[in-house]
């Protein structure tokens, strides 16, 4: 075995272990903050796997979008609403667990089926494009994938407008959560007095 | 365009002379440029710290460090040694693992980004195809480390500082990436070497700063904000937050933050000089000088001369920018958080978008000047 292949094998093993153990930690850990940080680690390792597949642009985009934007926002949200509250015990926890386990197992079997039926081997190693992949991705985004690309941007715009409507109550005449008329004059005014019930 | 010194090739040939296989020679070669760049980064930090102390002293009509070495040049080393031997404290109620991992996550991406900084045609660790995009992606990891250390310190000032740092770097990353995109549009490549080569046609006249003046200013403001330098040092605003996310840190962990922020400053200065000021290019093209002296461009003497001029020019341009950053730090007041976010989202973002659009239009109209 040549040195390059050995290095690749070691990297692949380490990255896969990090992905699997990290993902398990995201699901199983009690502390939500640890889960969020581990999620970042999982995203990073997936980027590493892309790098091993010679897809450096996809790897960098994965880091930029998933680690730099999605994960940072998740952590941000957790830290802004860092309320220490005990979770209420759920009554029918057992049946819920059975249902979620069966759904997960179905998804897993689907993935295993895809893995077994798909033909993974490339016809020839010369087909890998490596550094040229950036150009190819650009060509595809502006030709045959143009419609999905634009539709995705519309979807993001819709999500953004929704977030603004939810955050800025003054654009609606009625409060969305309580149904009371909104005071249009002072946006930052709290719905209940701040200082009276402080004891 | 393949000219200049190829140290890797000569080194490998040299090792093969001892009967080593090319693979082993390659493995021996690999750590050398990395170590060299790491040493360069740390020495760069020492120089910058000394400059910061001296220039701040001059701005405030003091003398500054004087007794440690001539003109106090050994002062940063004394600072570093002090931090190295200080007790490493983890607060009792802090989260030990995250508290330790935070500074590492801040420092590692910054050092990794040095991968793409070229000091000459072949004088960089790796000419990766995604080049400048790698730096943008890596610099987006940093906020996680800041949030992590802010949360783990179990201190409200630290948490606020961490949140501010993350908000700030997310806001300023967008105009930064857009102004880089305008350069990439002109170069048709993400590689830093290609970006410099595209500017090397007519010396100082072909530098990107003349074609991208708006982009240059936007990039510089955003780079300062990403480095959390004054006037954008809200995450560690002393009057409001003690020291922000660094409040609970001491010893070597604090030193990692310190090192990270200065390495980031030098890196940003280097990237500004690569993107806008012609990188390793001399204001007068070296080819012209060689022609004037009637020397062939491939002569060994000219190659060594070109390489050393390249390194000197890159470092000189970068330190000129570092000097401006230090002057800005000691002469400008801090902006408020709402002013900071207004500047980022309502001013820099539209301006950089318009800049990108105009660059694309000019590229279509004048392909010979704006990259065909």
Tens digit of each residue's pLDDT (9 = 90 or more) over B257-276: 888 889 999 999 999 998 88
Distance CA B121, CA B127 (A): 10
Residue A20 pLDDT: 92
Distance CA B146, CA A29 (A): 22
Judged against a pLDDT cut of 90, whether residue A167 lies above it is answered with: no
Please, what is the average pLDDT of chain B? 83
Distance CA A17, CA B303 (A): 47
Mutate which: A63, A66, A77, A82, vs B, most B CBs within 10 A? A63
Yes or no, beta carbons of A75 and B141 under 8 Å apart: no
Q: How many CA atoms lie within 13 A of B155 on its CB side?
A: 21
Query: By CA distance, what is B127's nearest residue in A?
Result: A131
Judged against a pLDDT cut of 70, whether residue A186 lies above it is answered with: no
Nearest CA-CA partner of A23 in A50, B359, A15, B146: A15
Residue B7 pLDDT: 67
Residue B350 pLDDT: 92
Asked if B129 has any chain A CB less than 8 Å from its own CB, the reply is yes
Is pLDDT larger for residue A3 or for residue A197? A3
Across A144-162, average pLDDT: 91
Distance CA A190, CA B253 (A): 41
Residue B156 pLDDT: 83
3 state DSSP class of B113: helix
A190 pLDDT band (50/70/90 cuts)?
A: low
Asked if B360 has any chain A CB less than 8 Å from its own CB, the reply is no
Yes or no, beta carbons of B129 and A130 under 8 Å apart: yes
Residues 176-235 of B with CB under 8 A from A: 190
A78 pLDDT band (50/70/90 cuts)?
A: confident
Q: Which residues in chain A touch residue B141, judged by CB atoms under 8 angstroms apart?
A: 44, 63, 67-68
A151 pLDDT band (50/70/90 cuts)?
A: very high
- In the beta sheet, which residues pair with residue A181? A174
Nearest CA-CA partner of B228 in B246, B213, B209: B246
Residue B5: left if φ>0, alpha if ψ -120 to 50, beta else—which one?
Answer: beta
Residue A195 pLDDT: 55
A1 pLDDT band (50/70/90 cuts)?
A: low
Asked if A2 has any chain B CB less than 8 Å from its own CB, the reply is yes
Asked if B124 has any chain A CB less than 8 Å from its own CB, the reply is no
Query: By CA distance, what is B130's nearest residue in A?
Result: A57
**Helices in chain B by DSSP H: which ranges?**
7-16, 22-29, 31-59, 75-85, 96-112, 131-139, 142-152, 156-187, 192-198, 208-211, 213-226, 238-241, 251-276, 286-292, 300-331, 337-342, 349-365
B3 pLDDT band (50/70/90 cuts)?
A: very low
Judged against a pLDDT cut of 90, whether residue B37 lies above it is answered with: no
Query: By CA distance, what is B158's nearest residue in A?
Result: A79
3 state DSSP class of A174: strand
Q: How does DSSP classify residue A188? A: T
Residue A80 pLDDT: 76
Judged against a pLDDT cut of 90, whether residue A105 lies above it is answered with: yes
Contact B150, B165 (CB under 8 A): yes
Nearest CA-CA partner of B7 in B108, B123, B163: B123
Please, what is the average pLDDT of chain A? 80
Distance CA B159, CA B161 (A): 5
pTM: 0.82
B35 pLDDT band (50/70/90 cuts)?
A: confident
CA distances from B330 to A144, B169, B245, B340, B344 (A): 53, 22, 22, 18, 22
Which burial class, exposed, middle or buried, applies to A131 when counting CB atoms under 10 A from its CB (0-12, 13-18, 19+)?
Answer: middle
Nearest-CA distance B295 → chain A (Å): 36
Neighbours of A92 (CB within 10 A): 9
Nearest-CA distance B142 → chain A (Å): 8
Both tokens assigned to A161: 């407008």
Q: What is the 3-state secondary structure (H, E, C) of A39-77?
A: HHHHHHHHHHHHHHCCCHHHHHHHHHHHHHHHHHHHHHH
Distance CA B313, CA B283 (A): 9
Across A159-172, average pLDDT: 76
Judged against a pLDDT cut of 80, whether residue B125 lies above it is answered with: no
Q: Which residues in chain B touch residue A1, judged by CB atoms under 8 angstroms apart?
A: none
Domain boundaries, chain B: 86-365
Nearest-CA distance B150 → chain A (Å): 10
Which backbone phi and psi does A181 adopt, to 5 degrees? -65, 140
Residue B4 pLDDT: 44
Residue A19 pLDDT: 93
Contact A76, B163 (CB under 8 A): yes
ipTM: 0.80
Contact B225, B179 (CB under 8 A): no
Yes or no, beta carbons of A63 and B128 under 8 Å apart: no
Residue A123 pLDDT: 64
Across B306-334, average pLDDT: 87
- In the beta sheet, which residues pair with residue A174? A181
Nearest-CA distance A17 → chain B (Å): 19
B198 pLDDT band (50/70/90 cuts)?
A: confident
Q: What is the CA radius of gyration of chain B?
A: 22
Nearest CA-CA partner of B134 in B183, B187, B200, B180: B180
Yes or no, beta carbons of A60 and B167 under 8 Å apart: no
Residue B219 pLDDT: 92
Across A86-115, average pLDDT: 86
Residues 34-63 of A with CB under 8 A from B: 37, 40, 44, 56-57, 60-61, 63
Residue A158 pLDDT: 93
């Amino acid at each position: 075995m040549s040195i390059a292949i050995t290095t690749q094998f070691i990297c692949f093993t380490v990255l896969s272990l990090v992905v699997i153990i990290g993902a398990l930690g995201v699901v199983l850990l009690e502390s939500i903050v640890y889960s969020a940080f581990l999620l970042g680690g999982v995203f990073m390792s997936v980027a590493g796997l892309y790098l091993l597949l010679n897809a450096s642009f996809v790897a960098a985009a994965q880091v930029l979008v998933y680690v730099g934007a999605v994960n940072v926002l998740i952590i941000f949200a957790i830290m802004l609403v860092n309320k220490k509250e005990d979770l209420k015990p759920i009554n029918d926890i057992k049946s819920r667990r059975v249902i979620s386990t069966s759904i997960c197992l179905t998804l897993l079997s689907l993935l295993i089926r895809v893995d077994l039926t798909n033909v993974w081997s490339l016809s020839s190693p010369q087909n890998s494009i490596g550094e040229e992949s950036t150009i190819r991705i650009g060509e595809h985004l502006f030709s045959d994938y143009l419609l999905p690309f634009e539709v995705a941007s519309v979807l993001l715009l819709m999500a953004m407008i929704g977030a603004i409507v939810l955050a800025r109550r003054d654009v609606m005449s009625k409060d969305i959560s309580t149904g009371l008329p909104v005071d249009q004059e002072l946006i930052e005014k709290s719905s209940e007095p701040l200082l009276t019930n402080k004891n | 365009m393949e000219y200049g010194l190829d140290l890797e090739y000569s080194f490998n040939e040299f090792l093969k002379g001892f009967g080593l296989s090319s693979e082993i020679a390659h493995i021996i070669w690999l750590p050398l440029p990395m170590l060299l760049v790491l040493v360069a980064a740390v020495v760069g930090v020492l120089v910058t710290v000394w400059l910061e102390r001296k220039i701040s002293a001059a701005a405030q009509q003091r003398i500054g460090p004087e007794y440690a070495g001539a003109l106090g040049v050994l002062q940063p080393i004394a600072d570093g040694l002090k931090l190295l031997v200080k007790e490493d404290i983890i607060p009792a109620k802090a989260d030990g693992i995250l508290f330790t991992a935070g500074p590492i996550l801040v420092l590692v991406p910054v050092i990794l980004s040095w991968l793409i900084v070229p000091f000459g045609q072949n004088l960089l660790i790796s000419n990766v195809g995604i080049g400048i995009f790698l730096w943008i992606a890596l610099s987006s990891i940093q906020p996680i480390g800041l949030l992590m250390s802010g949360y783990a310190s179990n201190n409200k000032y630290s948490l606020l500082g961490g949140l501010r740092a993350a908000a700030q770097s997310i806001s300023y990353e967008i105009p930064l990436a857009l102004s880089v995109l305008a350069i990439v549009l002109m170069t048709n490549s993400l590689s830093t070497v290609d970006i410099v080569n595209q500017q090397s046609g007519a010396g100082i006249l072909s530098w990107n700063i003349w074609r991208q003046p708006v982009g240059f200013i936007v990039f510089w403001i955003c780079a300062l904000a990403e480095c959390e330098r004054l006037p954008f040092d809200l995450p560690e605003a002393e009057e409001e937050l003690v020291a922000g996310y660094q409040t609970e840190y001491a010893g070597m962990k604090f030193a990692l933050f310190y090192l990270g922020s200065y390495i980031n400053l030098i890196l940003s200065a280097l990237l500004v000089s690569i993107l806008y000021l012609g990188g390793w290019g001399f204001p007068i093209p070296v080819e012209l000088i060689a022609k004037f002296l009637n020397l062939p461009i491939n002569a060994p003497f000219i190659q060594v001369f070109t390489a050393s001029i390249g390194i000197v020019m890159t470092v000189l341009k970068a330190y000129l920018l570092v000097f401006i950053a230090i002057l800005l730090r000691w002469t400008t007041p801090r902006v408020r958080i709402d002013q900071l976010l207004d500047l980022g989202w309502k001013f820099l973002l539209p301006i950089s978008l318009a800049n990108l659009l105009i660059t694309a239009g000019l590229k279509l109209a004048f392909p010979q000047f704006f990259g065909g």
